[in-house]
Every structure is written in C-alpha cells, then in structure tokens.
Amino acid sequence: MEFERLILAAGPTGGKVIRASDGKKPHSVAFIQCVGSRNLDKYEYCSGFCCMYALKNAILLKEKYKDDVDVYIVYMDMRTHFKGYEEFYRRARDLGVIFIRGRGSHIVEDPKTQSLLIRTEDMTLGEPVELPAEMVVLCTAAIPQSDAGDVARVLNISRGTDGFFMESHPKLKPVDTPADGVFLAGACQGPKDIPYSVSQGSAAAARAATILSKKKWKIEPIVAVVSPEKCRNTRVKCGICVKACPYGAIQAAEGEAAIVRTAMCHGCGTCVAECPADAIQQKHFTDEQIFAQIKAALEKNPEEKILGFLCNWCCYAGADLAGTSRFEYPPLIRPIRVMCSGRVDRDFVLEAFRLGAGMVLIGACHLPYDCHYISGNWKMKARMDALTPMLQKLGLSPQRFRVEYVSAAEGLKFAELMKEMATQLEELGAERIREENAKLKPVFDRMLSKKSK
C-alpha cells in the first residue's frame, strides 16, 4: 500500500519513488510475494491480488525508470488467472523484470548504505541466493477488517475459518448470506481484485432489488412451530432450540414457551430434531409424516432394504443425478427426503431399526461449509456421533448405520456408495440382521414408547 502511494502521480511524492530512510531513488527494487499468505502457520489462503499488483508496480517502475532500475519479483507461484492477466505477466518479462522462484527467508540492512540483502532460495537453480536491493516491497497477506467479528454479530452472519464473511453457498448463493436481506460484495467476503469486487457489488445490488421491488415477501411454508403446552421451558430452563437454530429465529424467555419468529425461520428442522420434549414441529416435515414414511418404506422385507434420510440440497440431489445419469446400482435404497440433515431425529434411526431395516443411511451436504442451512449438518453429526457408539454397544453391526456426505454433483459417488452398501448387506445376510433386530426391538420399543407416531 505504501509503494502504491509512492508511485501514484497524485501521491505524497508526486509519483517519485524514493526511500523513506534517505530520500534517495532506489536503483533496485524487489517485491516479495506471499508474505504471510499461503502459510499454514499464518494465513493459509492465497491473497489473490498480490501477484497482479506486484506485476503492475513492476511494470510502472520499468516504464518510468527504464534501465535505471532493476526490478525483481521473488515469488512462490505467479498466479495470473482471469482475462488478460497472463498477457500482463508477459509484458513484465518483456520489460526486463527478473522473476526468482523462492520464498524470501531473511532481509538484513546494511547500516551504512541502508540497502537491503534478501536471503532466499532460487528453486529453479536449486540453490540459496543473496539478492541486494535498495528497496524491498512486501506483498503482505490480505486479512479481514479487525472489527469484522462485531459486524458479523450485529448482522447475524457467519465467518469462515479465515475470518472473512461467509456466503450462503459458494456456487448457488455466492452473494447471499444466511440472514435474509444481507448481501456480500467485495473484500469483506474474501480477498479479491477490483473487477471481481465490482461484479459482486452489482450482483448484490440486483439481489437486494429483488426484495425491495416487492410489496410483500413470501417465505417457504416449511417453517417450525412450537406447541406451547409441550415446551418445557415454562417449567425448567431449556432453550436447546434457541442454540440449535442457525438463524437465531427462536426466542425462549425465562418461564415462557419458546417462540419461532416465522419470518426468520428457513425451515431446516434442526430445532425439531433437537427438542427433547418434541414440542416443535416443522410444517410438511412433521414427526408424524416422517414416521409414516418410515413405516411404509419398511412394510415388506425390511432387512433387505437401506432406509436413507437424504438432505434435499446435496445427497438427495446427488441420488437424482445418479438416476438421470443412468448410473446403475442395486435398487435397495428407500429414500426419505428432508430439507436438511439437521432434521434427522435420533428417533427416526431407532424407529427404522425397530421396524427391521437392514441398513440406515443419513446423506448430508459436505462438511464444513456446504450445508444450505449453515450448520445443520454439524448438528446432525454431533447427534449421530453420540448415537453410533450406543447402537454398537447394543449389538448393531457397525456397517448397518452410516452417515455419508454426498454433494449434488456426486451422482457417481452416490451410485458407488449404494453398490458398497448392497455388498455389505449381502455379506451380513438377512438371517444375522433378523437376529440382531429381534434382540434390539424390545430396547427400541422402550426408548420410543413415549413417541407419538
């Protein structure tokens, strides 16, 4: 940034590149790339635009001072993707910019001349080199604004592990956030250059216009509703649903039944699966409806079937793709569609085995960030991580219960998974499955006795 100001005609030096230490014009300038970026101990990600602005400044230096300045770029990989960028790189080479592939390890200053010595490795030569330079420009990692966490809290939006704001979905909703009416554009979402930021800005404005242009905004009718008489928060402190909701759509004031703020509910059903009192239901995906589907799916020869709870956006779509792509697999799965894997109640799994299912599969969006409901897949994972050892302790063969992550694009993966599960089912054999089920049924009967089906 300091160098940008120096070389700018409207900057403090009127565009003259001089050293802050002695005011002299440098005759050699070295740019060091990836300072902190692409470093597992600092910032893992690529800062995206540094290669391009280093090339830009190198070209500006060469055009301005010609042979009076030597320009070096010490880099790991020169990333010049996007339209016209490779040509820019070639132009820098043609102008005589010298590229050294390596990571600068040390810079020491000569106290007499204030010139610098860069220690690095030239990976092309395969040996260490010392590069004298009268000015060194560090292309440092782009990091989120220091108060990004406060903004995220106020707007109820999430941040990735890198600290930048998270989009709802990297491919399908790249400028939306999980909070309705809040859109992302530019570097707050991740490092990017100006053309990319501007395109995102236009997209975000267009997305906002879709809301502002309507007098009424319709939401999906699959929201959650609380039965106040069942909610135990009126008697003891609960609020489990409040913590479970990825959208902050539930309130549970002390001594009062929880309330779902319908306009904020996205209909993932995670709260429904988490509520210990079965006090919440999701419209069109009620317990009663899903139990009826489990029963119908396992009516005949249940031990020969795989009962699948597949999330709408990823695994169910992956299964669809397997079908439309004509990938063949044994037709043993009976899929039950849920909007989010977060809706899969522990009791659904128990009921499936109680009714004699051969295998149960939960198909979800990939971790960590693919869930269309922010964290529904994580909530499901925590629930099933607790259930799995319990089932195994009770005597269920481990192959019979699986959680798998399959994206909408992974039709082939889904077909392969079905083949693998079908082989395992055959190896286990119907007899062994029936024996296990007979042993487990009384336990599951007891565990599900209070469930209204």
Ligand X SMILES: Cc1cc2nc3c(=O)[nH]c(=O)nc-3n(C[C@H](O)[C@H](O)[C@H](O)COP(=O)(O)OP(=O)(O)OC[C@H]3O[C@@H](n4cnc5c(N)ncnc54)[C@H](O)[C@@H]3O)c2cc1C
Q: Which is nearer to ligand SF4, 178 or 358 (CB)?
A: 178
| 118 vs 96: CA distance, rounded Å | 20
From ligand SF4, ligand X, none, interface partner of 367 (C-beta below 5 to 8 A by class): none
Residue 2 sits in the site that holds ligand X (CB under 6 A) = no
| 431 vs 435: CA distance, rounded Å | 6
Q: Which is nearer to ligand X, 89 or 309 (CB)?
A: 89
Let me know: does 295 contact 348? Beta carbons within 8 Å. Answer: no
Residue 121 sits in the site that holds ligand X (CB under 6 A) = no
If residue 419 lies in a helix (H) or strand (E), which one and from where to where?
Answer: helix 411-428
Nearest approach in angstroms of CB 256 to ligand SF4 is 9
Residues paired with 286 in a beta bridge = none
Residue 9 sits in the site that holds ligand X (CB under 6 A) = no
Instruction: Concatenate the DSSP letters of all residues of 242-310 into one string.
Output: HHH-TT--EE--TTS--EE-GGG-----HHHHH-TT--EEETTS-HHHHHHHHHHHTSS-GGG-EEEEE
Of the ranges 76-84, 194-202, 273-281, 418-426, which one interacts with ligand X (CB under 6 A)? 194-202
Residue 338 sits in the site that holds ligand SF4 (CB under 6 A) = no
Of the ranges 69-77, 136-144, 233-241, 388-396, which one interacts with ligand SF4 (CB under 6 A)? 233-241
**Angle of helix 85-94 relative to helix 50-65, nearest 10 degrees?**
40
Residue from 98, 107, 138, 151 in contact with ligand X (CB under 6 A): 151
| 399 vs 303: CA distance, rounded Å | 13
From ligand X, ligand SF4, none, interface partner of 249 (C-beta below 5 to 8 A by class): ligand SF4
From ligand SF4, ligand X, none, interface partner of 212 (C-beta below 5 to 8 A by class): none
From ligand SF4, ligand X, none, interface partner of 277 (C-beta below 5 to 8 A by class): ligand SF4
Report which of 311, 248, 239 is spatially closest to residue 279, judged by C-alpha positions. 239
Residue 250 sits in the site that holds ligand SF4 (CB under 6 A) = yes
Alpha-carbon dihedral 414, 416, 418, 423, rounded to 10 degrees: -170
Q: Up-side HSE of residue 86: CA atoms within 13 Å toward CB?
A: 3
Looking at residues 197 to 236 of the shown chain, list those that interact with ligand X (rule: CB under 6 A): 197
Let me know: does 227 contact 260? Beta carbons within 8 Å. Answer: no
What x/- string results for residues 131 through 150 when contact with ligand X is judged by CB under 6 A? --------------x-x---
From ligand X, ligand SF4, none, interface partner of 197 (C-beta below 5 to 8 A by class): ligand X
What spatial distance separates the first Cα and last Cα of the chain, rounded to whole Å?
64
Would you call 71 helix, strand, or coil by DSSP? Answer: strand
Would you call 344 helix, strand, or coil by DSSP? Answer: coil
Only one residue has tokens 């700018």, namely 8
Looking at residues 34 to 73 of the shown chain, list those that interact with ligand X (rule: CB under 6 A): 49, 53, 56
From ligand SF4, ligand X, none, interface partner of 186 (C-beta below 5 to 8 A by class): ligand X
Nearest approach in angstroms of CB 276 to ligand SF4 is 6
Would you call 362 helix, strand, or coil by DSSP? Answer: strand
Torsion over CA: 436, 441, 442, 446 (sign): positive
Nearest approach in angstroms of CB 159 to ligand X is 13
Only one residue has tokens 């849920």, namely 338
- Name the residue type at position 277: A
Looking at residues 262 to 281 of the shown chain, list those that interact with ligand SF4 (rule: CB under 6 A): 265-271, 275, 277, 279-280
Residue 437 sits in the site that holds ligand SF4 (CB under 6 A) = no
Structure tokens at 141: 């990692």
Report which of 360, 390, 365 is spatially closest to residue 379, judged by C-alpha positions. 365
Of the ranges 17-25, 28-36, 191-199, 264-272, which one interacts with ligand X (CB under 6 A)? 191-199
Residue 80 sits in the site that holds ligand X (CB under 6 A) = no
From ligand SF4, ligand X, none, interface partner of 267 (C-beta below 5 to 8 A by class): ligand SF4
Of the ranges 41-49, 100-108, 206-214, 219-227, which one interacts with ligand SF4 (CB under 6 A)? 219-227
Strand pairing class (259-260; 250-251)? antiparallel
Q: Which is nearer to ligand SF4, 30 or 238 (CB)?
A: 238
Residue 4 sits in the site that holds ligand X (CB under 6 A) = yes
Residue 192 sits in the site that holds ligand X (CB under 6 A) = yes
Q: How many residues bind ligand X (CB under 6 A)?
A: 15
| 309 vs 404: CA distance, rounded Å | 10
Could you list the residues that contact ligand SF4 (CB under 6 A)? 223-224, 226, 231-233, 238-241, 244-245, 247, 249-250, 252, 258, 260, 265-271, 275, 277, 279-280, 282
Could you list the residues that contact ligand X (CB under 6 A)? 1, 4, 49, 53, 56, 145, 147, 151, 186-187, 192-195, 197
